[in-house]
């Protein structure tokens, strides 16, 4: 599967967040599940990239994804335990999980430069979509102040990741499409 198709999978998965907002605003338990799932998707892709890529820069970026998204998930998990909230699966979290699984399956078929480009292209698209969801759906609909604060605190990390991914993408040459 080419990197353009992988990027489309990411957009489709994250677009579900926006479509859920139009049909029914997500509840705090659903937001918690979306946050954990979105981070886990990036952790899983990062682990694959760390084991597959021969590029020092791509492996370093992947390691950053695993570390940073793992920290956000640790904070989210601690918060839901503190608040005694059980994350609740929704169409959005299930769509994100499926999109992440599909992305991993597609990335596993690639090697070398093709893998690196597909992984980084996906990371750019994924972080753009997640930031859009954070801004337009998750933060505005979070009712609990601590959950909202966690989302707001995590947002700059996603911006840094997007900037880093775009820099890597530019350095390896965008893959047209």
Please give the tally of structural domains in the chain.
Answer: 1
Give mean pLDDT, residues 125-139. Answer: 94
pLDDT confidence of residue 132? 94
| Torsional class of 112: left (φ above 0), alpha (ψ -120 to 50), beta (otherwise) | left
Closest to 48 (Cα-Cα) out of 9, 126, 101, 124: 101
pLDDT confidence of residue 85? 86
pLDDT confidence of residue 22? 43
Domain membership flag for residue 24: yes
Domain boundaries, position 56: 3-172
Closest to 10 (Cα-Cα) out of 35, 45, 49, 61: 45
Domain with 122 in it: what CATH number? 1.20.1260.10
Domain membership flag for residue 124: yes
Tokens of 12: 């489709």
CA distance 157 to 136: 17
pLDDT confidence of residue 43? 97
Check residues 31 and 3 and name the one with the higher pLDDT. 31
Q: How many CB atoms lie within 10 A of CB 40?
A: 17
Domain membership flag for residue 177: no
Domain membership flag for residue 137: yes
Domain membership flag for residue 168: yes
Query: Using one digit for the tens of pLDDT, what is the confidence trace for 57-94?
Result: 999 999 999 999 999 999 999 999 998 889 999 998 99
Domain membership flag for residue 133: yes
pLDDT confidence of residue 148? 95
Give mean pLDDT, residues 121-137. Answer: 94
Domain membership flag for residue 166: yes
pLDDT confidence of residue 142? 95
Domain membership flag for residue 91: yes
Q: For all residues of the chain together, what is the average pLDDT?
A: 86
């Amino acid at each position: 599967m080419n990197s353009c198709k992988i990027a489309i999978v990411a957009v489709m998965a994250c677009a579900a967040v926006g479509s859920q907002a139009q049909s029914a605003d997500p509840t705090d338990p659903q937001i918690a599940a979306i946050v954990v799932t979105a981070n886990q998707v990036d952790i899983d892709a990062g682990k694959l990239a760390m084991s597959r890529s021969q590029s020092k820069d791509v492996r370093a970026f992947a390691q950053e994804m695993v570390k940073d998204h793992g920290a956000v998930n640790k904070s989210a998990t601690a918060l839901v335990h503190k608040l005694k909230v059980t994350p609740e699966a929704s169409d959005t979290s299930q769509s994100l999980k499926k999109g992440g699984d599909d992305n991993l399956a597609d990335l596993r078929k690639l090697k070398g430069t093709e893998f690196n480009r597909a992984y980084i292209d996906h990371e750019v698209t994924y972080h753009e979509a997640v930031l859009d969801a954070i801004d337009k759906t998750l933060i505005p609909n979070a009712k609990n102040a601590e959950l909202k604060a966690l989302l707001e605190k995590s947002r700059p990390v996603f911006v840094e990741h997007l900037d880093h991914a775009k820099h890597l993408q530019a350095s390896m040459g965008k893959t047209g499409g």
